């Protein structure tokens, strides 16, 4: 607290965020610091952040988070969910892996965006060993029904 107080008195217009001096014009220290490079992370299942919105996911996500299965849950076209740019980022990121591991994309909703993307990029998906899982199964719970996929590891 004393350090923050001294910092703001001696450097008006500057503040500390997690011990890092930042300019109030920048919204977070993340915007002024580069993300350190590191080895990719391999996981069985990854949920694409923010309902597959382009706000948080780019090709770098798919270069670094290498999953056997990616879940796409977006179903809000008005908010750009799922984002075509994110689906394209999967193709771009996967093309950088240097290994031809099988990847399965699991959309939780049948949307126009995912259907168009699937049709327009089908050859690229095959080339990159990406399978899009379509489900004809439906789960019925109380007054609600929804499509479902079962995955076994």
Write down the pLDDT at residue 75: 76
Nearest alpha carbon to residue 147 among 120, 125, 118, 114: 114
C-alpha dihedral sign at 22, 39, 55, 58: positive
Q: What is the per-residue DSSP string for 21-45?
A: EE-TTSS-HHHHSPPPP---EEEEE
This model's pTM is above 0.75: no
Write down the pLDDT at residue 52: 72
Beta bridge partners of 20: 17
Write down the pLDDT at residue 15: 46
Instruction: Name the phi and psi angles at 17, rounded to 5.
Output: -125, 115
- What is the chain's pLDDT, residue by residue, as a tens digit (153 residues)? 444 444 444 444 444 444 444 444 444 444 445 666 789 999 999 998 776 767 778 889 999 999 999 998 877 777 766 889 999 999 999 999 988 899 999 888 888 888 899 999 999 999 999 999 876 667 788 888 776 666 666
Write down the pLDDT at residue 68: 94
Strand order in the sheet with 65-72: 41-47, 65-72, 103-107, 130-132
């Amino acid at each position: 607290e004393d350090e923050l107080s001294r910092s703001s008195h001696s450097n008006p217009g500057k503040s500390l965020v997690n011990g890092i001096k930042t300019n109030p014009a920048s919204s977070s220290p993340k915007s002024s610091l580069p993300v350190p490079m590191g080895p990719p992370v391999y996981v069985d299942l990854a949920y694409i952040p923010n309902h597959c919105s382009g706000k948080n996911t780019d090709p770098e996500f798919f270069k670094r988070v290498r999953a056997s299965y990616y879940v796409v849950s977006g179903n809000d076209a008005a908010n750009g969910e799922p984002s075509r740019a994110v689906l394209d980022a999967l193709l771009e990121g996967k093309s950088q892996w240097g290994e031809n591991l099988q990847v399965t994309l699991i959309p939780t909703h049948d949307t126009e965006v995912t259907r168009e993307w699937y049709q327009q990029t089908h050859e690229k998906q095959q080339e990159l060993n990406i399978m899009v899982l379509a489900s004809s199964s439906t789960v019925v719970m109380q007054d609600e029904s929804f499509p479902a996929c079962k995955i076994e590891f």
